[in-house]
Structure 1
Amino acid sequence: MRWKILAGALMALAFVIPATPAAAQVASPGLDESCQTVERKVYKDIRELVTIDPDTAEYVKVRRLANQILSAANKHSFVATPPELQTAMSGSQDDLRAFLKTRIEERWLTDLRIKIGKAMAADPDHTNVYEAAQEVLNTSSMDAHLAFLNDGLYAARELDCAAQPTPTPSATATATPTPSTTVTASPTTPATDTPTPTPSTSLGTASGEGGGLPLTGANTATVAGIGGALLLLGGAGYLIGRRRRTRFLT
């Protein structure tokens, strides 16, 4: 009995183990247009989302399918699919069934082509990306468009990024700081203009011309002293002469 239980457990593990890696499979990182490592964008295949027949399925399931497709389109930032799908969902049941049956793949492919065109515009200098994208755009294969966006774009970018020249680091000279001498200006005493003395009076000449003032002070006393001496001498001479004359007459 035990070996039967053990065999059943091994069989259960055999079914679980292969399924685990597939469920945990995650897309490997890739390069963006600036050659930086980023997470890859994985675009869904619209044909894998449509798992019912829109003509015969219950309308509730048709509406659920339409909402799933709209959510995926908005996640991819599509511009063609969401507005037309919303218009069909706003119409009758027949309108929605007809759109999902005949036009959904065409709109989805249009959005994929728009994404490829944007990738070309973002990589103007990447020759491999441009050539691979142009080759895909020349076809109308849904598989080719999905393969390029999910894998081919990143493979072409790796080739273009590997071909770019590696920038050579240039030696940058480090300037040695030179000590600067700070000169502090001392406050200077403002210059004071010394007034030049201007004579307020001018000496008069002997003739009295020139408009000078009369001499006073020490010069006047000298002249008066000389005049007084001359006057005394004159008086003494007069007296002496008179006395001699009187004696002569007698």
Structure 2
Amino acid sequence: MRWKLPAGVLMALAFLIPAVPATAQTEPPVLNEACQTVERKVYTDIRELVTIDLDTATNVEVRVLANQILAAANADSLPVLPDAIQEHLDGTADELRAFLKADVQNAWSTALRVTVVRTLTGAGANVKAAAQKALDEGTVDAYLAYLNNGLYAARALDCASQPAPTPTAQPVPTPSATPSATTTIAPAPAPSASLGAPGGEGGGLPVTGANTAAVAGIGGALLLLGGAGYLIGRRRRSRFVA
């Protein structure tokens, strides 16, 4: 039969589980795979969490310890280990105690080894050499030393050995021809002489309109006056002869 805990006890366990250590936030920055500055990630040594005697500890103490290790494994994004712990947390108290006494370190070592192998993707020569050295030693201490320090030291060497990017020569724009400051202003064409203006070149048309009517009127008046004078003079001569 699986070992169960009341809900109140489980809530108490959640408060007892320590938070992720804040030391990672105070660590000096390091370089990532792209040689960019990032925050250092520090992997937890879960052996430091085991502060109880697993042979004499109560079932509650064993369960609290298992949850503390599970929280650290999840914070470190480790493979394998979280699933193994959760599986035994779902089992009996005796199975969980046996796992913590005999198998948890093996699962943790496997998880650290897989994490070391993952750092080889796209790695430089120095990182590959440091990772291979840790893998050849095959101990938890070697894995932790590489993941917490050796990886970053080797990566810094690889980034420093990369050739500096050659700046691309930017084409110098050819200045376009600027227009001359002196602007030649074409002379305005002289207005042609009015065809009807007097004295214009090339001759003009006869004057018509109001001036012509006035001259004709004066001429007609003179003719009338001349005719009337002629008639009056003739009548006078006729009377005188008679």
* Other-structure match for 1:49: 49
| Distance of aligned partners of 1:24 and 1:93 in 2 relative to their CA distance in 1, 3 Å threshold | closer
The equivalent of 2:215 in structure 1 is none
Partner of 1:164: 162
Distance 1:107 1:136, change over 3 A: same
Structure 1 residues 154, 24: CA separation in 2 closer, same or farther (over 3 Å shift)? closer
Structure 1: distance between partners of 2:111 and 2:56: 27
Call closer, same or farther: CA 1:64–1:177 in 2, change over 3 Å: farther
* Matched ranges for 1:179-194 at <5 A: none
Partner of 2:112: 112
Q: Which consecutive aligned stretches of 4+ in structure 1 deviate over 4 angstroms post-superposition?
A: 176-179
SS of corresponding position for 1:121: coil
Return the offset for 1:24: 10
In structure 2, what is the equivalent of residue 143 of structure 1? 141
Alignment partner of 2:137: what SS?
coil
Q: Distance in 2 between matches of 1:29 and 1:128?
A: 19
Give a deviation string over 1:120-177, Cα, whole Å, max 9, x none.
1141xx0000011011101222111101000000000011111111112122104458
Opposite residue 134 of structure 1, the aligned amino acid is: Q
**Aligned-partner Cα distance in 2 for 1:51–1:110:** 23
Report SS of the residue matched to 1:168.
coil
Q: CA RMSD in A?
A: 2.1
Counterparts of 1:13-52 in structure 2, within 5 Å, are 26-52=26-52
Bigger Rg, structure 1 or 2 = 1
**Which TM-score applies when normalising by structure 1?**
0.59
Q: Quick check: 1:71 aligned with 2:65?
A: no
Q: Which runs of 5+ in 1 are unaligned?
A: 1-22, 180-250
Cα gap change, 1:86 to 1:24, in 2 (>3 Å): closer
Separation in structure 2 between the aligned mates of residue 158 and residue 24 of structure 1, nearest angstrom: 19
State how far apart, in whole Å, the 2-side matches of 1:134 and 1:140 are.
Answer: 10
User: Shift of residue 88 of structure 1?
Assistant: 0.8
Give 1:26 deviation, angstroms. 2.2
Q: Using the alignment, how far apart are the partners of 1:169 and 1:76 within structure 2?
A: 39
Matched, 1:155 2:164: no
Distance 1:33 1:136 in 2: 19
Contact 2:88 2:99 in 1 (8 A): yes
**How much does 1:178 deviate?**
6.0
The Cα shift of 1:54 comes to: 1.8
Quick one: distance in 2 between partners of 1:162 and 1:173?
30
Bigger mean CA deviation after superposition, 92-101 or 24-33? 24-33
The separation in 2 between residues aligned to 1:24 and 1:158, in whole angstroms, is 19
- Identity, in percent, stands at 54
